[in-house]
Structure formats: C-alpha cells, structure tokens
Amino acid sequence: MKGFITAFYVEMIKALKSKMLWGTFIFFGFIAVMLGFLMLAAKHPEITGKSEVLSMKASMISNPNWATFFWLLLQMVLTVGSIGPAIVTIWVFGREYSDRTIKDLLALPVSRMNIVLAKFSIVFIWSLFLLFLLYGLGIVSGLIIHLDGWTRDLFIQKSQAYLLSAILTIVLFPVITLITCISRGYLLPVGLSVLILISTQFVFLGMPGITPYFPWAVPGLCSGVAGPFSPKPEVISYIILGITSISGVVGTAIWWQHADQH
C-alpha cells in the first residue's frame, strides 16, 4: 500500500505541475459556458445579431428550457466526455514515452504495478473532475440565464443519468491507455479515440441492433439520449463494457511488467 500511495502522490504532483491539467479544465469550462450561451441565444435570437452560424445553431434548439439543456449536457458527456478521458490517459501514460522518462520508473523500489495503478487512479479522478466541471458549470450557466422548466425531480433524474453516463464513459479509457503504451506515443491512441467516437455514432445510426453489444454505445443507451425507440442496455451490455475496461487495465499492467521497454 505504501508503494501505491507514494506512486499516487508522485503522479498527482506531476499532474498538478503540468499545463495539461489546467488546459483541460479551461477547455471543459469553456464548453459549459458556450452551452449556456447557446441556450441564451436560443432564448433571445436577437442577441446573435448577424452571425448566421450562431443563429443557425441556436435555432436548432426549439425549446430553450432545462429539459433541453440537460439533454445537451448528456450529449456532451457522451461525445466530448469520451474524448476527455482519452486525452488525459494518452498524456499521463504517453508523456513517459515522449519525454523518455519511462526508464526512470522501471527499476525502482516501487513496483511497476503500483505505478500503473496510480496512473489509472489519477486519470480516473482527473476525468471525473472534468465531467463534473462540465456539468457543474453548465448548471450555473443555466441558472444565470434563467432557463425555464427547472424541477427538483428533473434535476435528480438527469443528474443520475449524467453520473452513470460519465462513469461508464470514463471506465472505457484503459483501452486507449493500452494502445498508448504499445505504440509508445500520442498519434495512434488519438486516432483510435476519434475512430471510436465516429464508430459509436455510426453504430447508433447504421446498426442499431448491435448498440447493446458495442461497449462505447452502452453509455448512450443508459443515458436515454438515444430516444425512446433505441434498444435498452442488457446485462450482457454491462458485462461487455466491464470486460473491455478490465482488458485495458490488465493489458496495460502486463505490458508494463513484461514487455521490453526501450
């Protein structure tokens, strides 16, 4: 346990001292504020002035109320929310290869397993914080612009859906971690993350029959944003998602423990 705590502390220091942490906070905060601005533009079309792009986007929101805003936030957690943890894990693990500091972590009294687990923990907490930031600032934006239709039940129901979607989205990041470690860099995992995002949309639109079995589509099914006619997640959906996540964790641990590290 001492090894894990030490490794976790060190990883935390590395994250807190990095520009990446603050960069991701600003990015997710900006998205939340922009969502609020979009709702404001939908409520008051006159404020977009002559901007056709903003007017067009705002006009897509026919009912600028809390129900629509929560739906937008859920959409965000399923799209940007899946890219966020991917970027964080690519950085936390990939930087050791790009900065060539990996060799400093391989022959220490702290086991490699503890270092890997500490890194996973940091990525999970960081990602969760980003998605909470998105939600929290989103709610604040909605309150500031006085959206209509707030009810306690709506808030609790949508918050539960958001939390579940966020956690299910985040736990899939170890697959990206494994690819980061195997490729020893940033390019391949970034490409894979984008591919997964596109594939998930494709699965929803083109092959709705397999959505319950495609791990990255499961959070979308759970959130309810796919609509009332979309398939419901089954027990097997959660099992597939869990196996995918655990495969990433175990694969990464095995890679660190046994693969030649250059």
Partner 1 sequence: MQPVIQTEKISKHYGRLKAVDNVSINVQKGEIYGFLGLNGAGKTTTIRMLLGMISPTSGNAFLNCKKVNAGNPQMWRNVGYLVEVPYSYPDLTVRENLEIVRRLRFIDDVKSVNNVISLLKLNAYEEVKAKNLSLGNSQRLGLAKALIHNPDILILDEPANGLDPAGIVEIRELLKDLAGNEGVTVFISSHILGEISRFATRIGIIHDGKLVHESSVDEMVNLRKVSLHIQTHDMESTAKKLGENGIPSNITDEGIIEIRDPDAISKPEKIATLLVQSGLPPCLLKVEEEDLEAFFLRVINMKGGEK
Q: Name the site residues for partner 1 (rule: CB under 8 A).
A: 2-3, 6-7, 9-10, 13-14, 17-19, 99-101, 103-112, 257-258, 260-262
Q: Compute CA distances 23 → 16, 17, 63, 87, 235, whole Å.
A: 11, 12, 32, 11, 37
Residue 19 vs 50, nearer CB to partner 1 = 19
Pick between residue 5 and residue 187 the one whose CB is nearest to partner 1. Answer: 5
Residue closer to partner 1, measured from CB, 144 or 250? 250
Q: How far is the CB of 259 from partner 1 (least distance, A)?
A: 9
Residue closer to partner 1 (CB basis): 12 or 61: 12
Closest distance of CB 251 from partner 1, Å: 17
Residue 89 or 169: which CB sits closer to partner 1? 89
**Contact call for residues 74 and 165 (beta carbons, < 8 A):** yes
Closest separation in Å from C-beta 11 to partner 1 = 10
Least CB distance to partner 1 at residue 84 (A): 21
- Residues 68 and 192: their CA atoms lie apart, in Å, by 31
Q: Kindly tell me which of 21 and 217 has the beta carbon lying closer to partner 1.
A: 21
CA dist., res. 49 & res. 64, Å (int): 18
CB of 119 to partner 1, least distance (A): 13
154: closest CA among 94, 68, 214?
68
Q: Nearest Cα to 32, choosing from 143, 164, 155, 140?
A: 140
Cα torsion through 171, 13, 29, 219, rounded to 10: 0
CB of 104 to partner 1, least distance (A): 7
In 3D space, the residue among 194, 143, 155, 169 whose CA is nearest the CA of residue 67 turns out to be 155
